[in-house]
A and B are shown apart, each in its own frame.
Chain A
Amino acid sequence: MKSYHADERGYYGEFGGAFIPEMLYPNCEELRQNYLSIMEEPSFKEEFHQLLKDYVGRPTPLYFAKRLSERYNTKIYLKREDLCHTGAHKVNNTIGQILMAKKLGKNRIIAETGAGQHGVATATVCALMGIQCVVYMGEIDIARQAPNVARMKMLGAEVRPATSGSKTLKDATNEAIRDWINNPVDTHYIIGSVVGPHPYPDMVARFQSVISEEIKNQLQEKEGRENPDYVVACVGGGSNAAGAYYHYLDVPEVGIIAVEAAGKGIDSGESAATSALGKVGIIHGSKTLLMQTQDGQITEPYSISAGLDYPGVGPMHAHLYASGRGEFISITDDDAMKAGLELCKLEGIIPAIESSHALAIFEDRKFGPDDVVVVNLSGRGDKDLQNYIDYFKL
């Protein structure tokens, strides 16, 4: 049977692989050789699940959104990743990776962050384990995400500004990779999404797969079936989506819907809708779809939501797009903000702006009244308050 998971060499169809300079080869190779066997170790599994339960607060609820469902005349369930410790799904991955780093004997952690969510989730687990933590963040993002910078500092992390290139997420990622090149022995790089060279996309997807594992059980309880008709998630790099789709990838009856940020509109020149605007290329060690010039220079994306503001997309999603397995929808800033506010009013939940993109599809994408649609609510909106205030003049 055709599978939408990574093959042994880290390819999803033609996408993925490890396009890395030789300086990174020993690090990636060490991880590649060990990640599956470490994840299989009973002691690893036990600690991972214990922390997800007691520290992160899992399982997160699968909540039937009654008023939202009535509004759109379909059955909408929200997977409440917004209730995770630190406010988003990101921590599922950082818990997994900090345990991986410990198993590999690393005593220093580096990470990249855009909005600061992954940086906070990384700083959190480093504090938990008492491990040194350096987070790279674009100079521009540092200025516009001050509360998360403060959080990381309170948690004991050092936040280093990325001053190269466009001074945002892709440059923070470059700086983290450069740090790893310069510190090849003692350091583990905790990538924040299903991007980067093999084995990162597969490893991060496995850590996030707890999301769909829980959905299956919870839906069985609520609907008497494991499979929804559709799973919907926003896609920046694609980690919350990968987790929400994971156990459904090879179940054809489950429709997969990926929601990208159209920014000010696909054709506006200010967008982050990678599937619509990207071409096959190499970014951060992975062959995938990315936004670039004709000459192959990586371009700067735009979205009101910093977490979706990445010029590439994980290779799993590039493959879901190219193969037609996934339905890709892009949502503008305005429609996302409207949908975010609507969720507040109808359900009493303030979503992250990233997640608001996933919620915004119901305006145009219609579902049947009996369709069960699970939306992954990847994060809460606390971090976005200033954005909401400015946008709605609250």
Chain B
Amino acid sequence: MNRIKQKLQEDKKILSIYFSAGYPNLDDTVKIIHDLETSGVDLIEIGLPFSDPLADGPTIQESSTAALKNGMNTALLFEQLKDIRKTVSIPLILMGYFNPVLQYGVEEFCAQCEEIGIDGLILPDLPLDVYKEEYEDIFKKHGLINVFLITPQTSDERIKAIDDASEGFIYMVSSASTTGAKQGFGSEQSEYFNRIANMELNNPQIVGFGISNAETFEQATQKAKGAIIGSAFIKHLTANGVNAIDDFVKQIR
């Protein structure tokens, strides 16, 4: 069974951490993954850096730019990850923009992911209809879960269509924003969290954007299955380097 699906069956709230591969240093990727696993994180999203990350706020823009400057690219990331399954068992997701995947070749990209032991992909600018028409078969053939996003503006009808097309979890963007833009949640978010919870979707939801500490993690996971931290973790890496990852995770839960 796909490691993501297995993890989602556990009776606990999921803590997922995002980082940009190749940041702060080109060769930190494997160490970051190891340390996140040993400190008790449930799921890891490895960011494939892109020159024009239009859904991201300044923090992830900067880490992406720095990673590219450090020399990160798709082929190198696959190279760094080739033995990762010898030492870690945590579910791994690659998150990035569609163009680098398209240039690598979607079929080859998915085949590489399978060989390495990647469990899923999040490609925010690969739209639902294009995925279904052109790529779903390829993703499935290679055992990859494709994760879709929903936002407070997504209509119920579309959420249902996304739920039907999903087979893992739904990435619930907490507010109308780019990553790292908002701090904390207000009444608008609780309404949205309730609305989605009441829809009784087939797939569990994991909340992302705007989660930075124990309090926001707790708020986000009252209804949802889990939450994702990105910008706050990257800021931690910027300030403390890669040697204090455990400290960061421990302050979340």
Contact = CB atoms under 8 A, between A and B. Distances in A.
Interface of A: 17-23, 25-26, 164-165, 170-171, 174, 177-178, 181-185, 279-285, 292, 294-299
B52 A165 contact: yes
Contact of B103 (A20, A181, A295): A295
Contacts, number: 113
Contact of B102 (A17, A178, A282, A294): A282
Contacts of B85: none
Interface string B27-68: 000000000000000000000001111111110010001001
B101 to A, nearest CB: 7
Contacts of A281: 99, 102-103
B125 interface: yes
Nearest to B152: A184
B99 A292 contact: yes
Interface stretch (B9-17, B153-161, B190-198): B153-161
B173 A296 contact: no
B101 A181 contact: no
Given A185-B176, A298-B52, 13 more contacts: A19-B125, A19-B130, A20-B127, A23-B55, A174-B52, A178-B54, A178-B55, A178-B56, A181-B55, A184-B151, A281-B102, A296-B104, A297-B68
Interface of B is mostly: loop
A178 B178 CA distance: 6
A162 to B, nearest CB: 11
Contact of B98 (A19, A182, A183, A279): A19
Interface residues of B, number: 41
Contact of A21 (B75, B149, B155): B149
B188 to A, nearest CB: 12
Interface of B: 50-58, 61, 65, 68, 73-75, 97-104, 124-127, 130, 148-151, 153-155, 158, 173, 176-178, 181
B195 to A, nearest CB: 15
A371 B147 CA distance: 56
Contacts of A174: 52-54
A281 B151 CA distance: 26
Nearest to B173: A23
